[in-house]
Structure 1
Amino acid sequence: DRSWGMLLVDVDNLKLVNDTFGHGAGDALIQVVARRMAATMPSEATFRLGGDEFAIILHDGPEPDLAAKAEDILREIKRPAQCDGHVVFPAASVGGAIAEIDETPEQVRHNADVALYHGKERNRGQYTPYHTGLGTALTRRFRAIRDVSVALAQDRIDAHYQPILRLDTREIVGFEALCRMTTAAGEVVSAANFHDATLDAQVASELTERMLSRVAADVRHWLDMGLPFQHVGINLSAADFHAGHLQERLCSAFAAAGIPLKHVIIEVTESVYLGQGDHVVANEIKAMRSRGLRVALDDFGTGFASLTHLLTVPVDIIKIDKSFVDRLVPGDAGAVIIEGLMGITEKLGIRVVAEGIETEMQAEHLRALGCMLGQGYLFHKAVDRHSAAWLLREFGQHYKSDGQAMSRLA
């Protein structure tokens, strides 16, 4: 008859520890987490459910303070540990739910599981409490996962291409490859309509594999046609970085089509670039650049950006987010920030592309500030491969007789 609640604890990055140091280290990590939880919480209320997932049942006071208990657990767990001869920094994600009137224990556990699932995707390494809206979000995500899985099986996922142009000559210097899904009714929808599905690691991996194969085939076709093609940008999600073997997947896809990596740019959003609590993304970016792949920091200025990170994890290109371009009016701070960014990136040898250009005034203002590359509806929306080939033929930046491009993105 007492008020009670449940915490579910899931160890983060166990697969990474297993793959890096071996399963002995992974087993030791689970044991370390178990001992530290048992030392922090009442041992009779702490359970291992299986694998790397634990449960804690709390019923102290009129209503258990799940958030405070979760913080105690996370603080205790994250101390460095010796695991089978290796130093590991343990981390975990926690989801929690309070038992409401008339809720069964099974429902409380389900609610805590929903919170944990949401936290693993959005707030890894932290505590996520359950609330009613999370169940709705999870249902929406599962529906998106189902729709995308069916679309992949029925070959309704394809690549479309938005041109990147020089703002002075309006010549096309490259494309950004964008994922598009054709619905069962025949409507072509953008990735924003099924973004929730990309939070699932398996679906994200399958989408990336499909995009890599389609883009590689299209680039090979354009090169064989003798079109003035320079490069294509491909977007990667956080799940792509954590799935493992990312470099090999990228390089083998283009090597199989006989495409040099100089034609490929990897686009990573700020939320992926700086939003993870570990070094997986940073290490992968460094490794990809060492292999000759160029990396663009997408949606720059929307949240996590810090220019100091460009010193430790350099990129080749910065793409200014549309929210800055929209504010390009005399006296606005957005213009001052872009002008300052142009000076900094020029000294660092980083190229800049402005996204979301919709008016001639914006294009001219960007040119005046020193930004020479852009994309947006003013020039063209994303088009299919056949229209992209036509755009290259008509507006692609041609080469001088000495074989050098008039102006390159990088």
Structure 2
Amino acid sequence: MNDEFQENDTRVDDLAARLEASEARLHNIIERSPDAFVVVDSAGVIQFANLAAAVLFRAEDANLLVGERFGRPLTAGETIDVDIVGAHGEEIVAEMRVVETEWRGNQAYIAVLRDLTERIRSARILRENEKRLTLALDAAKLGFWDIDVVTGSMACSDRMYECLGYAKGEIRPNRAAWWALVHPGDEACLHSHFDDHLKGKTPGFRTEVRLRSKSNDWRWMLFQGEVTERGQDASPLRVIGVAEDIHERKEVEERIRHASQHDALTGLPNRALLYEFAEHLLSGARRSGGRSAFLFIDLDRFKPINDAYGHDVGDLVLKEVGRRLTASVRSADVVGRFGGDEFLMMLVNIRSEDDVAMVARHALTTLNQPYLAHGHALTISPSIGISVFPQDGDTIDDLIKNADTAMYQAKEGGRNRFQFFKPEFNKRVSESLKIESCLRQGFDRNEFEVFYQPVVDTETRSVVSAEALLRWPSMNWSPAQFIPVAEIAGFMQTLGTWTLQEVCRQQREWREKGFRVFPVAVNVSATQFRQKNFVQSVSDCLLHAGVSAADVYFEVTESTVMRNVGDVAEILHALRSMGIKVALDDFGTGYSSLSYLSQLPIDILKLDQSFIRGIGQNSANGAITEGIIGLGRSLGLEIIAEGVETQEALDFLRARKCRRGQGYHFCPPLPANDFERWCHLHAA
């Protein structure tokens, strides 16, 4: 009997030990739980709280909570969010789940609380950020899109629909529906760019496409985005991006592109487009073994018409010349304005020189007819030089040069005639050789001089910078004559380096005299850009003269930039890293690609003087000028208008907020001393 009692006592002790161990484990689990556990009796008094509860209620110790009132009635089975005020007045939000239990033989409740404060705060911040993003996108007029690559669904913001005139829901929310709106000519580009990005070939997706609007016209839009989520196998799952309505910008670009390839006065192809046409013409002739002809036309004694009757009358004559020449050729032939009073005709698939001569005779006859302009009956005559492919040259430059040479021979032969090129025509070559022979001698004798023309603020007329212009005062040759010869002769590098050195020397002298120093623009030729050590030579020149990079900036022409965009861009970046600004000279004359303009490190656009001089006489010039000013401003570039010669032109620029002007209306190019005196008088 005693043995049985002893065995029962052992079992009881074992059960008690196991129960105690179980309670210890449970207590340990509760204490380590990230959720707050609070035991509240039926009177609403806290009987137990774990460590997480102390953290939640911002108490220093969980025992400090015991004996405190919980603060709200509890109902078994409820799950609610509750607001809690911490020990220091903090606002806390928690999710609370309540279960009924017993505590020391009495009814009680266990409240399990999870702190939601940070989650709610993060959600609020996310909502605020999304709202700010929406406001930013609306302000920037950007649409937002989100593509599920796997399902093909495409969520779009309201702005996307508005750009195309659709109501939300009129386009199915999937990529196929949106892609179906893309112009057939843009589909390949869109799919290629998008697929390349999905494959990881590009860091981002960016393309410009036309989409059909609800009104059935085509609207240009820019899509940009990137993959934001990929699967474990790196396959793309989600692409997010923005879309921008760029239709107005593209229209401006198209107008500028057309203007850059067509003469603003006559509407004919300009020199740049003529070269492009000629390239295609010669390529076709080489393949087919055909022959082509180039007719270089110069109007005899046209300048007296401008001088006697004004540019208005002269412009009317030029427009009529263009019209008559165009009517003289077949639709497959090309007529363009080469510059000034020079025109170029390109005839394709000619059978013999007799065919070319017939066209030339017809051009002479039609151009000799009177021109009625502002009540005046005027007559002019042309001189026409002709070169024929392939016997007179195999390249565009050779054919045009030889036609030009033949034209001068026609002038010397009495004008109002045409002349086929002959190899013995060396008159102009002789002139070039004469200039070339004098270049070195003139340089050694210090015959060259730098003139300065101010760039002024169009509002205040104060001088803000100047352009350095190379002159040869002792010789009767203009820069247009000797600079091309210097380029061909390989002497331009010497002249260019000397010009930069002279400008730096002059800047230092002016500074030492106390003269207010302006940044001076130095023109850089294509030959100089081909120097391997050009950037280093510039740095050495500035260092030797003791002037800063801010004292000079460089002007490059569109043709120089576009000959080799990659190499030129590298040099321009190097100059910018030195602190030297770069101006794109003669902008709008037809060479530059707008797609490169935003990528090159250009600081200043110099609007070509041919547009400025036509303001008030030609509405197209005004529209082109306004468009280029707007484009430059949108790219953050400074605009300098060249060739400001009238108050009317100045008023036009002021009205368009073009703050920089250069031209004879302000001051002609002057030698350094005269320029200094002019600046003093102007300042006074």
Query: How has the CA–CA distance of structure 1 residues 133 and 233 changed in structure 2, closer, same or farther, with 3 Å as cutoff?
Result: farther
Aligned to 2:445: 154
Counterpart of 2:508 in structure 1 is 220
Match of 1:240 in 2: 528
Question: Which residue, 634, 657, 678 being the options, matches 1:347?
Answer: 634
Indicate the SS of the match to 1:173.
strand
Q: Structure 2 CA distance, aligned partners of 1:117 and 1:131?
A: 17
Q: How does 1:254-293 map to 2 (within 5 A)?
A: 254-274=542-562, 276-277=563-564, 279-293=566-580
Q: Secondary structure at the match of 1:296?
A: strand
Work out which of the two has the higher radius of gyration on C-alpha atoms and give 1 or 2: 2
Please give the alpha-carbon distance, in whole angstroms, between the structure 2 residues aligned to 1:352 and 1:227. Answer: 26
How far is the alpha carbon of 1:329 from its aligned partner? Answer: 1.9
Q: Distance in 2 between matches of 1:379 and 1:344?
A: 26
Aligned counterparts of 1:198 and 1:372: Cα–Cα separation in 2: 35
Give 1:365's match in structure 2, choosing from 625, 635, 652.
652
- Equivalent of 2:625, from 306, 330, 338? 338
1: CA distance, partners of 2:573 / 2:425: 36
In the aligned structure 2, how far is the partner of 1:118 from the partner of 1:364? 40
* Match of residue 395 from structure 1: 682
| Match 1:176 to one of 444, 459, 467 | 467
Q: TM-score, normalised by structure 1?
A: 0.62
Give the deviation of 1:117 after TM superposition: 13
- What is the letter of the counterpart of residue 269 of structure 1? T
**Secondary structure, in 3 states, of the residue corresponding to 1:361?**
helix
- Quote the Cα distance in structure 1 between the aligned partners of 2:640 and 2:551: 17
Which runs of 5 or more residues in structure 1 are unaligned?
1-64, 71-110, 123-129, 398-410
Q: Deviation per CA, 1:127-162: give whole Å up to 9, x if none.
A: xxx964885554333222212222101110110101
Work out whether 1:229 is the aligned partner of 2:520. Answer: no
The 3 A distance-change label for structure 1 pair 382 and 313 is same
Other-structure match for 2:434: 143
Change (3 A) 1:114 1:338: closer
Q: For the Cα contact (< 8 Å) 1:162–1:382, is it kept in 2?
A: yes
Would the alpha carbon gap of residues 207 and 201 (structure 1) be closer, same or farther in structure 2, given more than 3 Å must change?
same
Alignment-derived partner of residue 603 in structure 2: 316
Q: CA offsets, 1:320-375, max 9 Å, x none?
A: 11111022128712212222222222222100001011111111111111211111
TM-score w.r.t. the length of structure 2 is 0.38
Q: CA deviation at 1:233?
A: 0.3
Q: Is the 8 A contact 1:201 1:243 kept in 2?
A: no
SS in 2 for 1:381: coil
Unaligned stretches of 5+ residues in structure 2 = 1-283, 290-389, 402-420
- The letter for the 2-side match of 1:271 is S
Q: Give the secondary-structure state (helix, strand or coil) at the position aligned to 2:468.
A: strand
Contact 1:114-1:138 within 8 A present in 2 as well: no
CA distance in 2, matches of 1:155, 1:217: 15
Question: Does residue 306 in structure 1 map to residue 593 in structure 2?
Answer: yes
Please state how far the C-alpha of 1:180 moved relative to its aligned partner: 0.5
What amino acid does structure 1 have at the position aligned with 2:605?
I
Answer whether contact 1:114 1:134 (CA < 8 A) is retained: no
**Deviation at residue 312 of structure 1 after TM alignment:** 2.1
Q: Which amino acid aligns with 2:445?
A: Q
**Partner SS state of residue 228, structure 1:** coil
Whose relative contact order is higher, 1 or 2, with alpha carbons under 8 Å and at least 6 apart?
1
C-alpha change, 1:133 and 1:326, in structure 2 (3 Å) is: farther
Letter in 1 for 2:625: I
Q: 1:383 aligns with which of 658, 666, 670?
A: 670
**Residues 157, 210 of structure 1: 8 Å contact kept:** no
Q: Which amino acid aligns with 1:345?
A: G
The equivalent residue for 2:486 is: 198
CA apart distance, 1:396: 5.3
The Cα of 1:198 is off from its aligned counterpart by: 2.6
Match of residue 15 from structure 1: none
Partner Cα distance (2:683, 2:393) in 1 = 49
Q: Distance in 2 between matches of 1:143 and 1:341?
A: 41
Letter in 2 for 1:339: E
Change (3 A) 1:282 1:198: farther
Cα distance in 2 between the residues matched to 1:113 and 1:155 = 40
* Shift of residue 192, structure 1, vs aligned partner: 1.6
Matched to 1:258, the amino acid is G
Q: Is the 8 Å Cα contact of residues 241 and 281 (structure 1) preserved in structure 2?
A: yes
The Cα of 1:69 is off from its aligned counterpart by 11
Aligned equivalents of 2:481, 2:470: Cα separation in 1 = 11
Distance 1:113 1:222, change over 3 A: farther
State the Cα distance separating 1:195 from its structure 2 match. 2.5
**Cα distance in structure 2, aligned partners of 1:377 and 1:144:** 28
Offset from partner CA, 1:239-291 (integer Å, 9 cap, x none): 111122111111211221111001111001111111x1463222212221122
- Structure-2 separation of matches of 1:114 and 1:146: 26
Query: Displacement of 1:113 after TM fit?
Result: 12
Q: Which stretch shows the higher mean deviation, 142-151 or 370-379?
A: 142-151
Q: CA 1:160–1:289 in 2, change beyond 3 Å: closer, same or farther?
A: same
Shift of 1:225: 1.8
Q: Which of the residues 636, 661, 666 maps onto 1:374?
A: 661
Query: Take 1:385 and 1:334, find their aligned partners in 2: how far apart are those partners?
Result: 33
Aligned to 1:401: none
Question: Which one of the candidate residues 160, 164, 170 is aligned to 2:455?
Answer: 164
Q: How many angstroms does 1:230 deviate by?
A: 2.2
How high is the sequence identity, in percent, across the aligned residues?
29
Q: Secondary structure at the match of 2:491?
A: helix
Alignment check: 8 A CA contact 1:144 1:196 kept: no
The residue identity in structure 2 corresponding to 1:390 is R
One-letter amino acid matched to 2:582: V
Post-superposition offset of 1:222: 1.0
Aligned mates of 1:69, 1:220 — CA distance in 2: 61
